[in-house]
Amino acid sequence: MNTDTLLQLFQQGFRAAIGTTLADTLKNPESFPQTWTRLTENPTEFAQELVDKGAVTEQEARQVVDSLWSQNNSPSSMTITTTATTVTPDVQAELKDLMIELTAIRSEIAQLRSDSNS
């Protein structure tokens, strides 16, 4: 048995499982005896019907997922407006001090990492 046949068999089994959902049984429990009869009398035909139904369900699910995916990945229609403000010399000096402190902290972290790896 080659890989393609095995993959197709697996996919048909998956589709058959999708086609025979619990929801179908719960929707119409009176149909169980008829379904059982069809299954026992002609399992191949019944399985093919389930595969076909599962393929349709799979396609519908794929369309829903693709639709949700495209909505989440589409550019947002939200507009963001920004306003530039003048930074005072005090704030500039504070930012410079913070950048110097941040650089020192990064250097210290790098040194600690190299010490712990040694």
pLDDT at 19 over 60: yes
Q: Is residue 32 part of a domain?
A: yes
Q: Which residue reads 């719960």 in tokens?
A: 26
Q: Is residue 82 part of a domain?
A: no
Judge residue 90's burial from the number of C-beta atoms within 10 Å of its C-beta, 0-12 exposed, 13-18 middle, 19 or more buried: exposed
User: Which uninterrupted H or E stretch holds 29?
Assistant: none
Q: For 32-82, how does the pLDDT look when each residue is reduced to its tens digit (9 = 90+)?
A: 777 778 778 887 887 777 777 777 777 887 888 888 877 776 665 667 777
Q: How far apart are CA 49 and CA 55, in angstroms?
A: 10
Q: Is residue 106 part of a domain?
A: yes
∠ CA 26-28-33, rounded to 5°: 105
Provide the number of structural domains found in the chain. 2
Q: Are residues 111 and 65 in the same domain?
A: no
Q: Are residues 9 and 58 in the same domain?
A: yes
Q: Is residue 81 part of a domain?
A: no
Q: Is residue 58 part of a domain?
A: yes
- Mean pLDDT in residue range 90-103: 89
pLDDT at 101 over 90: yes
Domain that holds residue 103: 87-118
Q: Which residue reads 């693709």 in tokens?
A: 66
3-state secondary structure of 15: helix
Q: Are residues 92 and 51 in the same domain?
A: no
Give the DSSP letter string of 30-87: GGHHHHHHHHHH-HHHHHHHHHHHHHHHHHHHHHHHHHHHHHHHSPP---------PP
